[in-house]
């Protein structure tokens, strides 16, 4: 339960924020109190038995109801997205903080703080199919459709700021390599296989992105706790037609946090819908996810001021060189009504642009501008997918495009061409820049060539920059990820080539990976020894400080101190922490005073990997019962192994934590005073004041997300 006072109102009116919701209301169909009819609106008397000649005879063709019902069912599926098939979406709104960006763009949805623009955002994994698990090692999609007053604008980004390839013509090759191998169709939603690493080893341009993929960024704790990036350099255009290069960044207000790999793998079995459920539940509980939009701006005069090409999507602009300036905030405040109608049918397109934003010649972006429209034609069955409720702009659509499968507009009048006189010359073409989209007038000249620019050739410097910028713990995770992934590669030649490429990024990285593979790294000088780092790239340098919406398990059994657990829950809920009471069986446990304490779930229906922290309450009988329950002991040990805060509150809990292998700093036994060490907090005190002090300290640990410095290699879970 969240603290009700901190819940913002859903869909509170603001300029335009409710416009999409109002539009959708006209398309919502509710069955409450309705009669069952055919698609023709004819009421049906019976739907459980087919019409047949005699009770045991053949089914009759004239049973139009059965035929229609089965036919419709037979056609229910549409092709899944060729990439990003697995996803979850939510409606919301975007609101700028102020108007400072108006100097650079005429896009009022980015510059007018009075305007709340309705949005739909879809998060996704990339490689897996629609039914694959959420917590795989993968890039996450972060695509937002802004239903602006000037038409739809789509920012189709990822949670990593670079991409695997530089030119879209290689996208089919890349996707074929990462998808399940075509003969056996395995592995599902994994990059840990030969074809992916074969591609990587032969295409050094992938290396920078591969560093991100092997990092904790590929294992977000929640869609609510990951960054987003537009990736490409785009262009803002102001009222005088002047362009400025721009990179878009989304920063989650809850901080950027990840899981550990072991945990992510286990969640794939315990709750394959983990991230989807997390998003839905948070929005349903009123804990609306929020992200700040920021921009890095580069004047056109500085186009060549960097040691990389701004048009190269495998490069970042270090934030230390060009700071990210805040623009406004996205709030996701409404779950869709129907997954298929909205989340599945939403159609994003990088070329959905509005006045004030424009493209650059990034060759990856140029290909995307073709691919997204093309893919919707097969996925959604024809050119009228823009009429689908989730895809419709909130502004009027008037043009001379006509007919096609699923045409839902009834165009009135005789003219469907431009210019016309019979339709009074309508729809009228043109208007002031800002109201109309006019392509940016960039001067372009050159010979027709099929050749990569020299400025795109350095594939190692920023891969090394990323490695240099990581903390020790992040480096350890990256090395472990490479060992896991390349360790799954069967072809020895591919392993050798990957190690050779890593050597060119950083010698220490290559050596540590090679060691895990039982090899020695091929000696070669790193291609880049600039020694530079960008501190902003380390997740440990992102924002910490809130424990809101973290989920804490309180394990309990008969004999628990009822007043204590309720007090703990109240104190944590005040901080917007979600608390669940778990016990060996569902229903209720009997407290030390003989009263019933309601249990939220039986512990065997969940697992520690689904929680951010665990608390074991006393007294002695409860602690003893939990000590004797293997599932409960494993729960605590595993949470401890995964660097989560662990708490013991009340008598007997120090012994219980010891039984679970929980160490207190360098000591095996937890002391009974109220002190925290290594993310473990234990006390044998009880009562109201003790609970207040305990939660104060425990919440601070929770806000750290994970106790990364805790050594857990030897923990057997
Ligand atoms: Fe893409 C989907 C993000 C490169 C072709 N892409 C898709 C989605 C996201 C991205 C978030 C899911 C949208 C949704 O939720 O419906 N894609 C990216 C990013 C890229 C990128 C950040 C590099 C910077 N994509 C990329 C290239 C191509 C595509 C180079 C093709 C040349 N992407 C597609 C697609 C998809 C898609 C095939 C599949 C389903 C869809 O578009 O609607 O057209």
Q: Which fold has domain 459-541?
A: Hemocyanin, N-terminal domain (1.20.1370)
Contact 345, 390 (CB under 8 A): yes
Res 526 pLDDT > 90: no
Q: Candidates 121, 228, 372: which one to mutate for ligand 1, based on the most atoms within 8 Å of Cβ? A: 372
Give the rounded distance of the alpha carbon of 511 from its chain centre: 32
Tokens representing residue 102 in the block? 């108006």
Ligand 1 centroid from CA 301, angstroms: 30
Sign (positive or negative) of CA dihedral 690, 692, 698, 700: negative
Confidence of residue 5 (pLDDT cuts 50, 70, 90): very low
The residues facing 582 across adjacent strands are 555, 601
Q: Which residues are catalytic?
A: 84, 158
Task: Report the nearest atom of ligand 1 relative to the CA of 230.
Answer: 22
83: CA distance to ligand 1 center in Å? 7
Q: Is the CB of 168 under 6 A from ligand 1?
A: yes
pLDDT category at 4 given cuts 50, 70, 90 is: very low
Q: Which residues have a Cβ under 8 Å from the Cβ of 162 and sit 6 or more positions away? A: 208, 209, 212, 231, 313, 314, 315, 316, 462
Q: How confident is the model at residue 71 (pLDDT cuts 50, 70, 90)?
A: very high
Ligand 1: centre distance to CA 704 (Å): 33
Q: Is the dihedral of CA 145, 146, 147, 149 positive or negative?
A: negative
368 Cβ below 6 A of ligand 1: yes
pLDDT at 222 over 50: yes
CA gap 269, 262 in Å, rounded? 12
Task: Output the CA 84–ligand 1 centroid distance in Å.
Answer: 7
Using DSSP, state whether 91 is helix, strand or coil.
strand
Ligand 1 center–CA 650 separation, angstroms: 52
User: 130 Cβ partners below 8 Å, 6+ apart?
Assistant: 80, 85, 86
Query: With a 6 A CB cut-off, is 133 part of the ligand 1 pocket?
Result: no
Centre of ligand 1 from the C-alpha of residue 75, in Å: 25
Structure confidence by residue, pLDDT tens digits, 451-487: 999 999 999 999 999 999 999 999 999 999 999 999 9
pLDDT at 7 over 90: no
Q: Which atom of ligand 1 is nearest to the CA of 82?
A: 39
402 labelled binding-site residue? no
Q: What is the mean pLDDT of residues 340-361?
A: 98
Q: Which protein residue's CA is at the shortest distance from atom 44 of ligand 1?
A: 372
Alpha-carbon separation of residue 397 from 356, 390, 435, 437, 597 (angstroms): 20, 14, 14, 14, 58
**Site to substitute for ligand 1 among 130, 230, 368, most atoms within 8 A of C-beta:** 368
pLDDT at 10: 37
Output the pLDDT for position 82: 98
Of 63, 155, 78, 77, the closest CA to residue 109 belongs to 155
- Any atom of ligand 1 within 6 Å of the Cβ of 352: no
**Atom from ligand 1 closest to the CA of residue 89:** 15
Is 81 known to sit in a ligand binding site? yes
Q: Look at the block and give the residue holding tokens 């939990």.
A: 626
Check the annotation: does 372 bind a ligand.
yes
pLDDT the model gives residue 667: 67
Question: Which residue among 371, 377, 388, 390 is best mutated to probe the pocket of ligand 1, counting the most ligand atoms within 8 A of its Cβ?
Answer: 371
pLDDT for 529:
79
Whether the per-residue pLDDT at 327 is higher than 90: the answer is: yes
Ligand 1 site, residue 171, Cβ cutoff 6 A: yes
Ligand 1 centroid – CA 158 distance (Å): 9
Atom of ligand 1 nearest to the CA of 83: 39
Tell me, using a 6 A CB cutoff, whether residue 162 lines ligand 1.
no
> Using a 6 Å cutoff on CB, does residue 179 contact ligand 1?
no
Q: In terms of C-beta density within 10 A (0-12 exposed, 13-18 middle, 19 or more buried), how is residue 14 classed? A: middle
Closest of 95, 527, 495, 135 to residue 327, by C-alpha: 95
Q: What is the mean pLDDT of residues 121-147?
A: 98
| Predicted local confidence at residue 54, as pLDDT | 97
Q: Is the CB of 367 under 6 A from ligand 1?
A: yes
- Ligand 1 within 6 A of CB of 364: yes
CA 373 / ligand 1 centre spacing (Å): 11
pLDDT, residue 647, reads 95
Percent of the chain with pLDDT over 70: 96
Quick check: 92 pLDDT over 50?
Answer: yes
Q: Does residue 673 carry a pLDDT above 70? A: no
| pLDDT of amino acid 237 | 98
Fold type of domain 551-702: Rossmann fold (3.40.50)
Each domain of the chain, given as residue ranges in start order, spans 87-168+205-391, 459-541, 551-702
Tell me if 659 is assigned to a ligand binding site: no
Q: Which atom of ligand 1 is nearest to 141's Cα?
A: 11
Structure tokens that stand for 210 in this block = 């591969």
Ligand 1 pocket member 90 (CB < 6 A): no
Does the C-beta of 157 come closer than 6 Å to ligand 1? yes
> Of the CATH numbers 3.30.70.260, 2.40.180.10, 3.40.50.10490, 1.10.10.60, which one belongs to the domain with range 87-168+205-391?
2.40.180.10
pLDDT of residue 701: 96
Closest C-alpha residue for ligand 1 atom 23: 163
Decide if pLDDT at 105 tops 60.
yes
Banded model confidence at residue 672, pLDDT cuts 50, 70, 90: low
- Complex ipTM: 0.99
Distance CA 308, CA 312 (A): 8
To the nearest whole number, what is the mean pLDDT of the chain? 94
State the Cα–Cα distance between residues 358 and 153, nearest whole angstrom.
11
- Is any atom of ligand 1 closer than 6 Å to the C-beta of 348? yes
Banded pLDDT at 675 (limits 50, 70, 90): confident
Q: Which is more confident, 249 or 683?
A: 249
């Amino acid at each position: 339960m969240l603290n009700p006072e901190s819940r913002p109102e859903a869909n509170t009116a603001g300029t335009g924020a409710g416009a999409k919701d109002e539009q959708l209301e006209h398309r919502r169909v509710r069955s409450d109190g309705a009669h069952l009819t055919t698609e023709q609106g004819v009421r049906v008397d019976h739907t459980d038995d087919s019409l047949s000649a005699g009770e045991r005879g053949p089914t009759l063709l004239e049973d139009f109801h059965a035929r229609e019902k089965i036919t419709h069912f037979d056609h229910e599926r549409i092709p899944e997205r060729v990439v990003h098939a697995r996803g979850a979406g939510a409606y919301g709104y975007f609101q700028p903080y102020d108007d400072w960006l108006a100097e650079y763009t005429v896009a009022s949805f980015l510059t007018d703080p009075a305007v709340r623009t309705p949005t739909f955002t879809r998060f996704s994994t990339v490689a897996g199919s629609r039914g694959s698990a959420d917590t795989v090692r993968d890039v996450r999609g972060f695509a937002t459709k802004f239903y602006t007053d000037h038409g739809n604008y789509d920012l189709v980004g990822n949670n990593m700021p670079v991409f695997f390839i530089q030119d879209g013509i290689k996208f089919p090759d890349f996707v074929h390599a990462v998808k399940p191998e075509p003969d056996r169709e395995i592995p599902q939603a994994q990059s840990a296989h030969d074809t992916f690493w074969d591609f990587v080893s032969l295409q050094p341009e992938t290396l920078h992105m591969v560093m991100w993929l092997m990092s904790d960024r590929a294992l977000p704790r929640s869609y609510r706790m990951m960054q987003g990036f537009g990736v490409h350099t785009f262009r803002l255009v102001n009222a005088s037609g002047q362009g400025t290069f721009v990179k878009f960044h989304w920063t989650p207000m809850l901080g950027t946090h990840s899981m550990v790999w072991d945990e992510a793998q286990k969640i794939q079995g315990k709750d394959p819908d983990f991230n989807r459920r997390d998003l839905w539940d948070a929005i349903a509980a009123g804990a609306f996810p929020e992200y700040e939009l920021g921009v890095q701006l580069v004047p056109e005069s500085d186009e060549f001021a960097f040691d990389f090409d701004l048009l190269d999507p495998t490069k970042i602009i270090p934030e230390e060189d060009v700071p990210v300036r805040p623009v406004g905030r996205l709030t996701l405040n409404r779950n869709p009504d129907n997954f298929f109608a909205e989340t599945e049918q939403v159609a994003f397109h990088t070329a959905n642009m509005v006045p004030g934003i424009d493209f650059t010649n990034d060759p990856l972006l140029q290909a995307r501008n073709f691919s997204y429209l093309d893919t919707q034609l097969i996925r959604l069955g024809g050119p009228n997918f823009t009429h689908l409720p989730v895809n419709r702009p909130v502004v009027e659509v008037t043009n001379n495009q006509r007919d096609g499968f699923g045409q839902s507009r009834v165009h009135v009048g005789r003219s469907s061409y431009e210019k016309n006189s019979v339709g009074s010359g309508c729809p009228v073409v043109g208007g002031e820049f800002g109201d109309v989209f006019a392509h940016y007038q960039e001067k372009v000249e050159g010979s027709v060539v099929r050749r990569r620019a020299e400025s795109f050739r350095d594939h190692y410097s920023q891969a090394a920059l990323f490695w240099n910028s990581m903390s020790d713990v992040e480096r350890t995770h990256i090395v472990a990820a490479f060992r896991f992934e390349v360790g799954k590669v069967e072809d020895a030649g591919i392993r050798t080539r990957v190690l050779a490429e890593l050597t060119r990024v950083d010698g220490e990285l290559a050596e540590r990976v090679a060691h895990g593979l039982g090899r020695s790294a091929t000696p070669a000088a790193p291609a880049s020894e600039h020694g530079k780092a960008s501190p902003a790239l380390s997740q440990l340098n992102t924002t910490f400080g809130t424990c809101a919406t973290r989920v804490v398990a309180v394990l309990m059994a008969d004999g628990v101190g009822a007043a204590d657990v309720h007090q703990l829950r109240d104190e944590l809920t005040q901080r917007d922490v979600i608390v669940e009471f778990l016990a060996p069986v569902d229903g209720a446990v009997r407290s030390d005073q003989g009263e019933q304490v309601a249990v939220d779930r039986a512990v065997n229906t969940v697992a520690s990997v689904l929680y951010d922290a665990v608390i074991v309450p006393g007294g002695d009988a409860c602690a003893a019962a939990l000590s004797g329950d293997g599932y409960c002991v494993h729960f605590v040990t595993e949470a401890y192994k995964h660097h989560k805060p662990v708490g013991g509150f009340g008598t007997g809990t120090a012994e219980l934590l010891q039984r679970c292998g929980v160490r207190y700093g360098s000591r095996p036994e937890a002391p009974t005073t109220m002190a925290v060490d290594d993310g473990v907090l234990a006390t044998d005190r009880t009562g109201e004041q003790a609970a207040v002090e305990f939660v104060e300290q425990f919440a601070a640990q929770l806000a750290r997300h994970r106790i990364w410095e805790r050594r857990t290699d030897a923990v057997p879970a």
